[in-house]
């Protein structure tokens, strides 16, 4: 058996089509949604991600607001940029590209974002709202995973889901999203310290891997027909000496899984589509 591939790129394109319609409706009310990005330093990977976000914005009619600071920018300079975006009515939502250079305080920075403009859904207030079951912007990667599964009729209600990874951007909020009453999945949140990892993953209908460990999930670790989602994205140097990105799922898993969300072409494009969705929602709420 070879797994059916759930195409995140195609699904993200569908979502962008839907957003174009919503952006037009906003334009008729005199509002153009605006997404801000704050990039500190010139890491090529981060620059590429930020460029991708602005390309996405142009595709659906969202205005781009770019702020760039040098790698040696002070916390005060960064705080100043955030204060300015918080006050700018044209900016409905923004993100601070992570990771920040080591001398800057990530926690303090994320806490400075106006929670109403938190396009990433990573502000402590919004993560708290998620814990409590209150409305608020949702973290993009977990939301993108749930949306991709929903649009491909992968049942969550009653499903056993093993999540590998407990990070603040993916694993932990994903566990919270999947256990909301509206999803009602039963989640086992595993991590690299889980002793009986294969036992946990073999018992699952759906395995979602977000550990950042290339090849962590192997074919013997899943039950035949299971749905597998690869969230890993690690830069490795190939045999040819060139850099490339690799996921957390071993390629042989495709022969055993029923459905597979691949990397690339799976969760990444969905994450980007959810960022746009969050900004359009922010604009719809702020008017």
Ligand X SMILES: Nc1nc(=O)c2c([nH]1)NC[C@@H]1CN(c3ccc(C(=O)N[C@@H](CCC(=O)O)C(=O)O)cc3)C=[N+]21
Site residues for ligand X per CB under 6 A: 49, 52, 95-98, 120, 140, 233, 263-265, 268-269, 271-272
Residue among 259 and 272 whose Cβ is closer to ligand X:
272
> Are 175 and 187 in contact, with CB atoms under 8 Å apart?
yes
> Is residue 7 among the annotated active site residues?
no
233 marked as part of a ligand binding site: yes
What would the two tokens of residue 278 be?
């969050």
Q: 177 is written with which tokens? A: 């999203």
Task: Please indicate whether residue 53 is annotated as part of the active site.
Answer: yes
Q: Out of 16, 56, 97, 205, which one is annotated catalytic?
A: 97
Q: Which is nearer to ligand X, 142 or 175 (CB)?
A: 142
Closest CA to 176 of 231, 226, 223, 136: 136
Find the shortest distance in angstroms from Cβ 12 to ligand X.
8
Identity of the residue, 63 or 98, whose beta carbon is nearer to ligand X in the bound complex: 98
Told to judge if 120 belongs to the known catalytic residues of this protein, a careful annotator would answer yes
Based on CB atoms, which residue is closest to ligand X, 22 or 272?
272
Minimum distance of ligand X from residue 286's CB (angstroms):
20
What minimum distance in Å lies between the beta carbon of 29 and ligand X?
A: 28
Least distance (Å) between residue 121 CB and ligand X: 10
The beta strand positions in the chain, using DSSP E, are 4-5, 34-40, 63-69, 93-96, 160-164, 186-190, 206-209, 227-230, 234-237, 243-246, 259-261
Residue nearest to ligand X (CB): 268
Residue 238 marked ligand-binding: no
Residue 52 CB partners (closer than 8 Å, separation 6+): 272
Contacts (Cβ under 8 Å, ≥6 apart) of 68: 38, 39, 40
- DSSP secondary structure of 64-88: EEEEEE-TT--HHHHHHHHHHHHH-
Which one from 16, 56, 117, 120 is the annotated catalytic residue?
120
Per the annotation, binding residues for NADP(+) are 165-167, 233
Per the annotation, binding residues are 165-167, 233
Catalytic residue annotation:
53, 97, 120
């Amino acid at each position: 058996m070879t797994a059916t591939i759930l195409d995140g790129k195609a699904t993200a394109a569908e979502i962008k089509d839907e957003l174009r319609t919503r952006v037009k409706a906003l334009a008729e009310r005199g509002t153009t949604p605006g997404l801000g990005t704050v990039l500190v330093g010139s890491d090529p990977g981060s620059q590429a991600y930020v460029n991708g976000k602005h390309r996405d914005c142009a595709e659906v009619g969202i205005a781009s607001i770019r702020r760039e600071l040098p790698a040696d920018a002070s916390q005060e300079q960064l705080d100043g940029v955030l204060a300015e975006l918080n006050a700018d009515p044209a900016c409905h939502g923004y993100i601070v590209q992570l990771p920040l250079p080591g001398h800057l305080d990530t926690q303090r920075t994320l806490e400075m974002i106006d929670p109403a403009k938190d396009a990433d859904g990573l502000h402590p207030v919004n993560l708290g709202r998620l814990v409590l079951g209150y409305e608020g912007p949702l973290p993009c990667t977990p939301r993108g995973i749930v949306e991709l599964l929903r649009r491909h009729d992968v049942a969550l209600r009653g499903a056993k889901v093993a999540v590998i990874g407990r990070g603040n951007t993916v694993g932990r909020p994903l566990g919270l999203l999947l256990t909301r009453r509206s999803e009602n999945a039963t989640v086992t949140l595993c991590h690299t310290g889980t002793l009986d990892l294969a036992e946990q993953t073999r018992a699952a209908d759906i395995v979602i891997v977000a550990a950042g460990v290339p090849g962590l999930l192997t074919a013997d670790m899943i039950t035949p027909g299971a749905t597998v989602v690869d969230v890993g994205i690690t830069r490795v140097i190939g045999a040819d000496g060139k850099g490339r990105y690799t996921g957390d799922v071993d390629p042989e898993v495709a022969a055993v899984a029923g459905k597979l969300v691949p990397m690339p072409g799976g969760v990444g494009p969905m994450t980007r589509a959810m960022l746009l969705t969050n900004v359009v929602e922010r604009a719809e709420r702020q008017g």
